[in-house]
Structure 1
Amino acid sequence: MGGDFNIHSQEWDGGHHGHPGVATQLLNTAAELGLQRAPFVNPGPTFYPCIQGFRSTVIDLVFVQPDQTLMAQVTRVHNAMGESDHIPLATILSISADSGATPRRALKADREEQIRFVRVIEGEFAIKVDEHAPLNTPDQIDAVAQAIADSFSAVWETCSREVTITRRSKPWWTDECSVALQAYREHGSLEDWKLYHKAVKNAKRVFFDSRITEISITNKRTWDLMSWVQQRKLPPCEAIQYQGQPCHALPQLWDALHNTYNSASDRAFNIDILNSIPDMPVWGWGQPCHALPQLWDALHNTYNSASDRAFDIGILDSIPDMPVRGWVPFSALEMREALASCSNVSAPGPDHIKWSHLKMLMWAPTHVFTILLALANACLRVGHWSKHFKESMSVIIPKPNKPSYSAPKAFRPIVLLNTVGKLIEKMLSNCIQFDGVASDVFHPNQIGGIRQQSTEDAGLILTHMVCAGWAKGLKTSVIAFDIAQFFPSLNHEVLMAILRKLGFSDNVVKFFSHYLVGRSMQYAWGDFISDLCQADVGVGQGRALSPVLSALYLTLIMRLFELDPLTHGCFLLSYVDDGTLVVQSKSLLDNCAALKQAYSVIFELFKKFGLALEHDKSEVFHFNRSHSKDNPPVDLGYAPYTGTSPLKPKLYWWYLGFYFDRKLTFTEHVRYYSTKALSTVKAMKMLGSSTRGLRPVQKRVLYCTCLTFTEHVRYYSTKALSTVKAMKMLGSSTRVTYGF
């Protein structure tokens, strides 16, 4: 979609100030059509008015599909302007589904093809990888790792086939559909059309039945089916109420919307108050990424922003060293348990090997099993991590529900690794967690990154503290904070010092000293892949070792926080990168003062460890069961929440999957999850009937999961839902769950 829209906005014209409502309407209309504005390769005005004194502007725009924005190459063609006052725009578009598709290699999804692929790998392993190869030096470890990689690569090239995935490609399409379609194209008869339609219908039924069985029964991940059943919302004229009355007619709806979204049109304001606040610097260079090299630089600089960040390792001297513990080699049972816990639906890494392939290769003490177990033990014994395992790919995916996706921080990098390396990392992660719990390495207030602990434990701790405080006549206040780019910001030098301080064996310390250096990664944005970039800081999100390493990183921070005299009486709770400061006293104002002081201490500690807090994501909440409406804000002392604009508490607080209210009635929490449970089960009706599809027992699992989520946290609540409402909801859900 393109043309002269005659709309001015600072979004596409840097010389214009403001973004009028009609510009917002244009962008929303384009979004509803599945289109996005394509940037110019050579930015500049597109309209040069003939009248003197009028400024040249940008009013000619081009909108394309989101996956075509980088390939569109919208160019202002000055030479073709002629006598017109508009500059023509040249755009490169894919006129068919095949023209913009990239060929790739893939395996057929049927089980016979997967088994054949595994059998060929076994034969290739027997030829290229020696079971008795020595593994006593780094070079020998690299040689075996490279032989494994070569075997996987050779088998992949042999068994895979080149396919072209287009926007019209369907996962359920079969060879029978192709034959029926070809026959219809040749003859065009009604009978051929019926046969083609029947083939498509049968292919869809077989595909979706097998997928439902695989997801809900084989993998026991019934929740993965929810992406197929999106929420069906009520029409706006039935769902919207205004001034206590439903909008049954369109004029009433328009009046309600207009009066709601324009309620501040006559509201007084004083813009001079902004003069007391200094201007903030413009984010980045303030320029959009029009080319792939700019995009790779933006992503790399964002996810490695902590590479030059200052830190103070001397702060660890105040904590005594723990005694050094020994290291026990991996056993065959540990490898089997680590492999069994891996999900079959995880995306494969650069070696194209899935967990399901590795499970078939290592179902018994086979040749492959023996080699990989010996390789894992050699890596820890020698203290070496193969270069082959250090290469990774970061797939960039958007974070949900972000107001804008113009900044790289609105996206999340997910690391894809070679499968053998992931297996060894998972085994090492399990051992470190077991050793850390047995030796009291982790702080007792750490919940995330440690096995057999979940968000429900964090909610239980907080709920118990609040109720225990009320029993003593105390009021509880909390500040929740978030660490910016946590996994990519872990400093390697600090991490090595922490491992030595916590008493890990020389084998582990030596291994990580080589594991953390010399790593490189590629960025994948859709079908585009960047060159290798050096990653000298952080641990990738998606690695098995990332949660436990981050937990070790936070352990000493929490201990130093406890030792600080300014934090006396303050409780610090941590769940991965989400921290919570908890204070209790008889006055909420005293709580606010204590929270400000504790927040300053934790900020300085994170700074010395090379980490940073995102102040704009901090939240404050007061628990108070009295009838008082006192809900004071907190001056954090850091922008944007200072004395002139303090951090204001909310009536409900969303924390790790719970809806907390001030009196711990959990009314909002129960209302939210009971509605979600009922709508989930109702939506699941379209995936099953009395003869095929999703069975009632799977629907019941989904409903119980929603309704019993955090039931231990809600144990103290007695007013969460009235008995009548609970019985009505239970009866309705039972009919839906067991009926068709």
Structure 2
Amino acid sequence: MSTTTTRPIRIIQLNANTQNRAIHSLLNQAAGEGSYDIALITEPWWGEIGGGTQGPVAESAAGWTPILPVSAVPTGRRPRAMAYTRKRDDFTITLRSDLADDLDLQILEVAQTPHPPTLLVNVYNDDKKQGRKSAMKRLQKITLPTDIPVIISGDLNLHHPLWTKHGEPAKASTEQTVDWLAEKGFLLKNKRGEPTFYSHAHKSFSTLDLTFVNPRAMELDAAKKWAIDESQAHGSDHFALRWELDYGATEVDNISGVKYNFKDTDEKEWRDAFRTALLTHDDELSILLDKDAMLTPEQLDRAAEGLTEAMQEANIKAAKIRKPSNKARPWWTPELQQANARVASQRSQNLAHHRQWGVQSTDITTQIKKSRSYFKRLYKKARSNWVTETLEKATSKDIWGFSKWGKGIRTYQSPAISRGPDKAPAVSHTEKCDALRDELFQPPPPLEGIPEPDLDTVHAEDLPDVPVTSEEVRSSIFEQGADKAAGMSQCQFRILRWSWQVAEEVETALMHHCLKTGYHPKSWRKAIAVALPKPRKPDYTNPRAYRLIQLLECLGKALERIVAMRLAYLVSTLNLVPANQFGGL
């Protein structure tokens, strides 16, 4: 297994004020700079994304995956707390819907082996409208762990002398929330009087976005480099909060493994590496060349594994490693970034003026309005131009991808999976895999009275055994998509095509012996099962709301295709199927 080194996990939090351009701006700038790994959003944009579906902003092309706070957002409702994360090899982030299944309250567990996991509590607190039923009141009913770091952060919409300088006494409900935080040992990271929000209506600054850490987080200094970032407003009326989870650099196993970019790999270089690798597996493969021999299943297993291992060794030596893209979307231009920075700079100037004179500058306020309007127009124009240019330059291969634009397709992280009554839900990745496998891959019921087929007695009408030909194997490899999803070895059909010039005889002989013996090697029966959520299900905690797609080894798929083509030929030439049963032929 490959290894990687743990790095600081950089977190940013922003109230987006329901603006899609604020989220697009934040995620694309962070992707271009490689500056953040987790974005906690309060008041995210939520609207029509196509196909009659409601959803959030998507920036999958820039490497971001959205995480909703609930398994399925009810019709007519919208989340007011959600997150985005970028995939990295040294940490995982898990939605703890077993602790909170709430549109305004999201609990995420960030795990980075060998360090302790950290809980991030992302909150949008609507104290004015919800009162005693607000998110902070609901949070108090949740039993949060005390032995691991817990960070509560978000837009609390509360005023209290601990963090504001207004001097007005806090409401009784706010005092009760502060008392609960103090009782649990939470410490406020904000400095008193440092503003995080600008009110356009009252032309004043206030502190609404807050971060609290529990004693364990204080002990481990979990929220390192915490700061209010005035440059990261992105058109919102809130400033961003940012911090890092940094428990030190440690070398750990890379559980996701190395992924390869075969499109940028030199084909000749790979073939040379494969030719060398084959020599180290000569003992397993040379026995295949005697096509009259009767090989045992064990010998075929070793031969299949040897051929696959030779391809994997060539991948290690010659294939390019696929790295996560830090690129922003093509329409996120330097002009947009400069316009966004101009607004942030002017707001900082206005804040400095307010600190010095107690009032905002009228001139700077006017400049901010003009700059924000310019950014909005530039944002719309840049996206529109990009769409037009993309469509104009499209090739026949691109056309099918455009159909997905209006379908409202989003990929969300799964919630905790139910394991049945009186059982704790599956939270971690391993637990979810076990829960789905136990429910969806149950062993078949035993069948009794099945007659054993007689495969030894020779009959006059028996069809002759025709050896597998090189042309059959070649067709089964080259007539399948080069980038078709591969199994555990990552040896896709593109790799099999490259290997054909070097190992045509070996690959043909392997298929011949497998068909002659009637044996499918064990390694070709192992699959990666990908859980895909079924559309429009009301509850995604139910394992039956998912279907499993199995990714098998491409060498095994090639053998299956040979058998399928032979069966189709026999069916059509011997009239084994009635004329009205034409499907699949």
Normalised-by-shorter TM-score class: 0.3 to 0.5
Bigger share in helix = 1
TM-score using structure 2 length:
0.44
Bigger share in strand = 2
TM-score using structure 1 length:
0.36
